[in-house]
Amino acid sequence: MSVKVDDNKEEPAVSLKQQCVKCFQGTNCIKTIVIVLCVLLVVQQISSCIEKLIDKPITTYTHFDYNKTITYPSVTFCREPPYKPDVLVKYGLYAHPRYTSTWRNFNFSRIPLDQLWEEITYNQDDFFVQYALDNLEENLKITPVMGFLGGRCYSVSPRVWNRKVKTGREFGYSMTLHHYASDLEDPATIVHPGYHVYIHYWREPYTEVEVYNGGLVDYLYMNTGEMVSVKLKVDEYVMISSEDEPCSTAHNYSANACTSQYVSDVVSEMVGCSGPWMKSDLPYCDNYDDMKDLITHYMSLYQHHECPSCPRFCHSLLYNAFVTDRQKNYTWQDQDGHRPVSNTDASLETTIFLHFNNMMVSVYEEKYNYDWNLFVSDLGGSVGFLLGLSVVGLFNIIGYIWIYFIRPFICSKNSKVTVDNSNSNSDSVATVSQSEYYKKYDQKK
């Protein structure tokens, strides 16, 4: 007896569960674990790349430029002492207005505060003897800046910002300032009479209020009777606005002006009145108690405020001042060390020269350190290196997935349908054969 074997008979379908079990049997277990770890590592690296693409990292690049159109800085001079002592005594103020006790006997009803501040502070003629930019006086403009601690200061700036800069001491700023003999005989100040010099970017006007980007101001002090030569060097900062550290690119924006206005608004709203050194819509204080509160709050907030709404400027310049020569036309007395020996014209005048030594600019520029090109490169490197994938290999993987997982699953469903149909056909054939048998039996009878 011979048995015929059907060569076209298909192997029984393997389920997905059986395939998974097979992957962890024998030597396949080590291969499967390595592949799973590699896949997890690739997923982690791809996630990291996506995060960098969403929140792009910023890197600071440093380079040097030879800039022929670099702009001159603004230079602000604040006098020391800041207020006229004889006029203060005239109005019953015997010391700096910051001392609230001096306001106890001030007649608020008869003396307007704006008139008081106009008289007790120094005007432009009290500051400057002569001034020039590139040897010409008409190249400069002078702007008064009113403060509380420093009184009335003056900012010197070029009239034309994009003028071509020339190097050397014979060019640049040259200014002579002066004091009076009374300032040296009995100075109403804790420091030697002289001038505070602030060198800053022209977009950021001087303010005595502490500012977030206040580091972009260079400072030096000149005693009266000195001649100082200063060399300027420029650092350029180009920043990117971010959610954590925002910055502004508005043409007319100033972080200094914004912060100063913020402090003025907060202090005046706390007291209900303002002072002549503030920009406020509220009226001036008209009694001792309000003036005392105004000065107290201002002195506590002008350096220790928390201004939340004044971001930095995205493109700014820092002028670094290097004193190359300092000569003095006076000698301090050995006994008290507070005033010069003689009150000659030379000992009462202060001269300063500010100039560029070269046209090199150090540029610190922030740039995004990640983009789509780097993302695609990282993606291909991670997948290709860790899994050894290529375009051809990717097609092979898709083919294996089709052969071992998708097609068996489809075939198993088709086989089940075929078996069901075969069983139903067999039942029908059996039924038909039985009916024909009975029919033939009846005919024989």
Task: Please give the model's pTM, rounded to 2 decimal places.
Answer: 0.74
Cα–Cα distance measured from residue 101 to residue 106, given in angstroms and rounded to the nearest whole number: 10
Whether omega for the bond prior to residue 311 falls within 30 degrees of 0, making it cis, is no
Biggest alpha carbon–alpha carbon distance for the chain: 163
Cα–Cα distance measured from residue 293 to residue 304, given in angstroms and rounded to the nearest whole number: 17
Helix (H, G, I), strand (E, B) or coil at 135: coil
> Do 171 and 222 meet the contact criterion of CB atoms below 8 Å apart?
no
Domain boundaries, given as residue ranges, for the chain: 26-57+371-415, 63-368
Among 239, 235, 237, which Cα is nearest to 218's?
235
Cα–Cα distance measured from residue 84 to residue 82, given in angstroms and rounded to the nearest whole number: 7
Tell me the Cα Rg of the chain.
43
> Do 192 and 223 meet the contact criterion of CB atoms below 8 Å apart?
yes
Write out the chain's pLDDT in tens, 445 residues: 454 544 555 555 556 666 666 666 666 676 677 777 777 877 887 888 888 777 788 888 888 887 766 788 999 999 999 999 899 999 989 889 999 999 998 999 999 999 999 999 999 999 999 999 998 999 999 999 999 999 999 999 998 877 777 787 788 999 999 998 888 776 666 778 999 999 999 888 999 999 876 668 999 999 998 999 999 999 988 888 888 888 888 888 889 999 999 999 999 999 999 999 999 999 999 999 999 999 999 999 998 888 888 888 888 889 999 999 998 876 555 445 444 444 456 678 999 999 998 888 888 888 888 877 777 777 777 666 665 655 556 667 777 777 777 777 777 766 665 655 555 555 544 544 555 544 554 555 4
Cα–Cα distance measured from residue 181 to residue 425, given in angstroms and rounded to the nearest whole number: 128
